[in-house]
């Protein structure tokens, strides 16, 4: 029965072990790592508020972040390396995450939505020293990247010598590994015999990244099998597919022995016929019957002798063949001994070659490690010598966009670029905190919908001519004026006198009494036209004040237009109601063209630059 060892952290391998046992395998749980959750600072968590994309490396990253209960932008695009991580994101945050087809770093970076990320704010939620390729690639694509480290993997406090000896005693044949940290925990500080035994085992890993890291431990690629991800289903499928390779069946070789049949030489009894000669008194006589019996006996004896001679010759020939076979066996034994000696020499040469390759690899690894340390020190020195002029230049650009251009979103973008620059250098925590607060303040300032308000005012203008006046028309007096006109003819003096009297009477105001009926104002067409033009003038003045960002003139013009509509037009008319409602809505627009914004990062940058 094939024995599989599961090295996943505690609580994560039970389901896989149960599947393997049901499939006829022997499974053992042996965690080599423990997960410890970390508590990031407020500065490390603050980028989650304005993040455009949030990437979770593992289930532990999701669980650790959820326990911190940070303020997070749930409208951002969420990403998960594997399906189980995506399911955990949905369970804890209620957001569907994008999952690559290949559950590894390369598959994640191949997603189309992560191809164009220039200027995007991306937060990478991960473990300590995990997935450096993702961060490096996204930065190269122009993203503002912030690492949020929420957990770390540590080897359990047990002697690794006891691990390998115990596994060897259990006759473990396959080992499940889901992280590079597990590889380090298993292969560090081993004896030569323990390393040789581990190199003969089969390893089931979660990604090509782990497989490549495992090959650095001199494990043959033939003994490494890559699953479709770190999930229990993917690991189980990988183990099942390679099951035939895990159990080697030896086929017995049978040899047919041909028994040597020995010819038993049966000695035939010679029949000797004794001739009984009867004594005769005078002569001994041999009868014909006795002669015949003698002849027959001689013939039989010759046949038996010839058969014995043939069998003797056959036995000699068989002995010669046996001797030849013995000589051939001796030659074959010598050749076999020579082959064994050559094989031993070849194995020794291969072992010496492997030792030389291992020594060369170790030497190369040490050289690479030294080069990496030197590059890291150089990068740290460059980070420590960050040019203050570049930082102050970006800060001044943000202030110019805020105060001169009133471009709050542009100022926020410049501060985000400054924060990304400072994130790669130590000693900038206080400055970055102030920048984060300024970004939150600028993002909270919503732009005034100038175009929408302007279109509402234009709609009011188009409805003014449709309003119904609350007044009556003044009667036309043209006919009466003609009737009372004075004649220039002297003979018409009497008529002229009568007409003069009528004009005098009509010049007085006549008051008529109306009971129960309201008196409406009397307006001429010219007066009506002037009232409409006055309302339009106020609305147009409000539009000009809106575009020139003069809030007081805007509200004064809207108030005057509303007063004229209420005074001169019918309130129960539908067109009047529409115009009054629109003017009332326009009066409530929050036109804060000059909000008071103080950048806290300005003073922090000055102090840091000094």
**In the predicted model, is pLDDT for residue 414 greater than 80?**
yes
The DSSP symbol for 6 reads: E
Structure tokens at 336: 């076999």
Q: What is the pLDDT of residues 246-301, one digit of tens each?
A: 554 433 433 344 333 333 334 343 443 343 444 444 444 445 666 676 777 777 67
In this prediction, residue 125 carries a pLDDT of 94
More confident residue, 95 or 275: 95
- In whole angstroms, give the CA distance from residue 379 to residue 425: 10
Q: In 273-381, where do the E strands start and end? A: none
Contact 209, 182 (CB under 8 A): no
Q: What is the mean pLDDT of residues 2-26?
A: 87
Mind giving me the DSSP string for 21-52?
A: HHTT-EEEE---EEEEE----HHHHGGGTS-S
pLDDT per residue over 118-146, tens digit each? 989 999 999 887 777 898 999 999 999 99
Average pLDDT on 171-181 reads 89
Lookup result for tokens 């292969």: 187
What's the whole-number mean pLDDT along residues 98-125? 90
Residue 187 is predicted with a pLDDT of: 85
What mean pLDDT is predicted for residues 517-532? 74
Note the pLDDT of residue 122: 94
Asked whether the predicted pLDDT for residue 564 surpasses 60, the reply is yes
pLDDT range class, residue 93, cuts 50, 70, 90: very high
For residue 222, the tally of other CB atoms under 10 A from its CB is 8
Residue 164 has pLDDT above 70, yes or no: yes
Mean pLDDT, rounded, for 515-523: 54
Q: What is the pLDDT of residue 99?
A: 92
Strand, helix or coil for residue 593 = coil
Can you tell me the mean pLDDT for 522-548?
88
pLDDT tens digit string along 578-593?
A: 999 999 999 888 887 7
**What DSSP line would sit under 99-137, residue for residue?**
--SSSSHHHHHTSGGGT--TT-EEEEEEETT--HHHHHH
The predicted pLDDT at position 472 comes to 56
Mean pLDDT for the stretch of residues 530-541:
91
233-247, 283-297, 441-455: segment of lowest average pLDDT: 283-297
pLDDT, residue 89, reads 94
| Helix axes of 14-22 and 232-241: crossing angle, nearest 10 degrees | 30
Q: How far apart are CA 218 and CA 206, in angstroms?
A: 18
Lowest-pLDDT range, 147-156, 306-315, 600-609? 306-315
Bridge partners for 473 per DSSP? 523
Q: What is the pLDDT of residue 479?
A: 44
Contacts of 457 (CB under 8 A, 6+ apart): 539, 542, 543, 546, 586
At 123 the pLDDT is 94
Residue 563 has a pLDDT of 92
Task: Give the pair of three-digit tokens for residue 297.
Answer: 């006996």
As a whole number, the mean pLDDT across the chain is 78
Rama region for 218: left / alpha / beta (φ>0; ψ in -120 to 50; rest) = left
Mean predicted confidence (pLDDT) in 335-342 = 71
Stated as kind and residue range, the H or E segment containing 400 is helix 388-403
Give the tens place of pLDDT for each residue, 31-78: 888 888 999 988 889 899 989 999 999 889 999 999 999 999 999 999
List phi, psi (to 5°) of 33.
Answer: -130, 155
Q: Residue 519 — very low, low, confident or very high, per pLDDT cuts 50/70/90?
A: very low
Output the DSSP codes for 409-460: HHHHHHHHHHHHHHTTSSS-HHHHHHHHHHHHHHHH-PPP-HHHHHHHHHHH
**Residue 317: per-residue pLDDT:** 59
What's residue 88's pLDDT? 93
β 53-56/33-37 pair status: unpaired
pLDDT on residue 289: 64
Q: Is the pLDDT of residue 457 over 70?
A: yes
Q: Give pLDDT tens digits for 491-506.
A: 766 777 777 777 666 6
Q: Any residues with CB less than 8 A from the CB of 156 and at least 6 apart, and which?
A: 31, 32, 33, 34, 185
């Amino acid at each position: 029965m094939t024995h599989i060892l599961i090295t996943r952290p505690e609580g994560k391998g039970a389901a896989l072990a149960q599947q393997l046992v049901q499939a006829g395998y022997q499974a053992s749980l042996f965690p080599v790592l423990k997960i410890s959750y970390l508590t990031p600072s407020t500065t490390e968590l603050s980028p989650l508020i304005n993040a455009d994309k949030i990437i979770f490396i593992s289930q532990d990253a999701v669980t650790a972040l959820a326990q911190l209960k940070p303020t997070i932008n749930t409208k951002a695009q969420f990403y998960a390396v594997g399906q189980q991580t995506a399911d955990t994101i949905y369970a804890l945050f209620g957001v569907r995450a994008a999952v690559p087809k290949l559950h590894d770093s390369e598959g994640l970076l191949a997603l189309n939505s992560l191809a164009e990320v220039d200027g995007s704010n991306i937060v990478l939620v991960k473990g300590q020293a995990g997935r450096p390729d993702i961060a490096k690639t996204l930065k190269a694509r122009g993203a503002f990247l912030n690492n949020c480290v929420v957990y770390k993997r540590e080897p359990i406090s047990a002697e690794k010598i006891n691990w390998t000896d115990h596994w060897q005693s259990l006759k473990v044949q396959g080992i499940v590994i889901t992280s590079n940290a597990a590889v380090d925990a298993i292969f560090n500080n081993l004896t030569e015999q323990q390393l040789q035994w581990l190199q003969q085992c089969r390893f089931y890993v979660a990604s090509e990244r782990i497989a490549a890291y495992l090959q650095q431990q001199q494990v043959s690629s033939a003994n490494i099998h890559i699953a479709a991800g770190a999930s229990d289903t993917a690991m189980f499928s990988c183990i099942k597919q390679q099951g035939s390779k895990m159990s080697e069946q030896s086929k017995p070789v049978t040899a047919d022995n041909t028994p040597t049949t020995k010819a038993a030489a049966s000695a035939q009894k010679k029949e000797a016929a004794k001739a009984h000669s009867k004594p005769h008194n005078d002569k001994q006589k041999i009868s014909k019957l006795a002669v015949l019996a003698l002849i027959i006996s001689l013939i039989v004896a010759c046949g038996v002798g010839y058969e014995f001679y043939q069998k003797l010759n056959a036995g000699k020939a068989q002995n010669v063949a046996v001797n030849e076979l013995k000589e051939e066996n001796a030659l074959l034994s010598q050749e076999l001994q020579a082959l064994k000696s050559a094989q031993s020499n070849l194995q020794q040469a291969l072992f010496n070659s492997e030792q030389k390759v291992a020594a060369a690899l170790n030497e190369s690894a040490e050289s690479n490690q030294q080069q990496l340390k030197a590059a890291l020190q150089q990068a740290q020195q460059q980070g420590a010598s960050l040019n203050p002029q570049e930082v102050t230049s970006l800060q001044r650009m943000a202030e110019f966009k805020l105060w001169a251009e009133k471009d709050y979103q542009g100022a926020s973008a410049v501060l985000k670029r400054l924060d990304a620059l400072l994130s790669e250098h130590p000693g900038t925590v206080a400055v970055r905190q102030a920048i984060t607060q300024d970004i939150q303040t600028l993002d909270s300032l919503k732009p005034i919908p100038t175009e929408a308000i302007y279109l509402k005012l234009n709609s009011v203008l188009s409805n003014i001519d449709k309003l119904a006046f609350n007044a009556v028309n003044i009667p036309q007096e043209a006919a009466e004026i003609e009737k009372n006109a004075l004649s220039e003819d002297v003979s018409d003096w009497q008529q002229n006198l009568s007409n003069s009297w009528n004009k005098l009477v009509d010049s007085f105001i006549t008051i008529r009494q109306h009971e129960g009926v309201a008196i409406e104002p009397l307006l001429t067409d010219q007066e009506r036209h002037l009232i409409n033009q006055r309302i339009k003038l106020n609305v147009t003045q409000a539009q000009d004040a809106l575009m020139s960002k003069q809030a007081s003139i805007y509200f004064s013009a809207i108030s005057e237009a509303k007063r004229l509509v209420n005074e001169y037009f019918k309130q129960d008319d539908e067109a009047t109601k529409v115009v009054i409602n629109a003017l009332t809505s326009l009066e409530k627009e929050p036109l804060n063209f000059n909000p008071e914004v103080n950048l806290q990062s300005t003073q922090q940058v000055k102090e840091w630059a000094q």
